[in-house]
Amino acid sequence: MARLGLHISADEAAALVRSDMWLDYGASLGQPDAFDAALARRLGILSNIRIRSCLSTRPRAVLEADPKGEHVYWFSTHFGGYDRRKHDEAIAHYLPVHLGEIPDYYRRFIDPVDIVVLKTAPMDDKGYFNFGPSSLWNRALVERARILIVEECAAMPRVKGVDTGVHISEVDYIIPGDNQKMAELPKGTATDVDRAVARLIANEIEDGACLQIGIGGMPNAVCSLLAESSVTDLGIHTEMMTDGIVDLYRSGRITGAKKQLNPGKMVCTFALGAQYLYDFIDGNDEVEFHPVDYTNMPHIIMQNDKVASINNTTQIDLQGQAASESDGFRHISGTGGQSQFIRGAYASKGGKSFLCLASTYEKKGERKSRIVPVLTRGNIVTAQRTDLMYVVTEYGIVNLKGRTVAERARLLISIAHPDFREELEREAHHQRMIPRGYF
């Protein structure tokens, strides 16, 4: 049944919210700003407002207006820096997910959402509001919204692909946005450790490989090194489109000619980076945005040959369990698509998955090893030991597939920082991970 498609103000839209409602803000650059500010102005007369979100790129007005969490419960499926700080203040909470499964969660397990508010590009001449750099699970949100509100933003790039927008016939209300520029994610400068890890990974990338690039300095450093290499005909099938992928494309290394799925196209579900990334994807026929259950599900990923999945982790124990989303009981990011791409890459013909990390980190002035006998108490296992393939630090690269527990321990110790290897070896023997007399 056709909806209203009425133009109203942000304050009028916020007035639709009642206590005890579930709202959904979508994700990343698609989160609303004008509506958020209007709702913040009404919080004093509301209670038990529950909002789902993902990867906030700007401060959320409703949280800033409710510093004690007395009116709003904020649930995020993946933390950015802002969500993490609010979690530390006990007013933001994590919702555990595999990112690629979220559309199915909404369709099968989550009750219809009272109000969904999505930031979009202004309506085009065919009546569509483009989702811009945040396709993700927006199609499922449209289907499950009791009330759907779009917040128009003239700065939103329009992307090409599948299910990249919503028609006015599906929209209840349209509100004007503040038209501010898209939030940017600082690229940062690659460290010597990043470059050392990237060199080891780049040496494993073959002509015709199909890349998934995760967030962070190390994966982007891989793009930089590949741009300077002789590798040819790279493809892209990734969750996140990054600045590094744009740089790699401009070097001429990406053609997508050898891909089995969407040949010639760079496939992703969302983009986050610098303004030049947003300019690059705007109307670009070579970049295809798809729902996240297409980009992230292992049975789809594996249909491309030579998939190379490149992601970060923060801690690995000597059996190969990787904790990539928490620091003990402190949640810092999310499962995202990491474990799904690890599995999809392995199942791909000639595929490889890489999990990279610096060998050490500093905490309260003390240097500590990221390779440990046992994970920090409370740490969440993001990638199971049975899933890990290549693990990379600045000291080397090892393949854990088909290795015994003792072999895994020895291999991981070999790429730990030299200052910690003796201690790790001693603890591995003490815990019987390496049997007595084993060489």
What residues contact residue 179 under an 8 Å CB cut-off, 6+ apart?
Answer: 153, 154, 155
CA distances, 117 to each of 22, 99, 113, 144 (Å): 11, 20, 10, 12
How long is the chain?
439
Read off the DSSP letter of residue 34. H
Point out the residues that are catalytic.
239
Q: How many CB atoms lie within 10 A of CB 147?
A: 20
- Residue 427 tokens read as 């603890």
Read off the DSSP letter of residue 99. G
**Which neighbouring-strand residues pair with 287?**
266
Q: Tell me if 292 sits within 8 A of 336, measured CB to CB.
A: no
Q: Tell me if 132 sits within 8 A of 177, measured CB to CB.
A: no
Give the DSSP H/E element, type plus range, for residue 97.
Answer: none
Distance CA 239, CA 241 (A): 7
Q: Tell me if 333 sits within 8 A of 325, measured CB to CB.
A: yes
Characterize the bridge pairing of strands 307-312 and 287-289. Answer: unpaired
Sign of torsion over alpha carbons 7, 10, 12, 14: positive
Q: Tell me if 149 sits within 8 A of 63, measured CB to CB.
A: no
Q: Tell me if 53 sits within 8 A of 82, measured CB to CB.
A: no
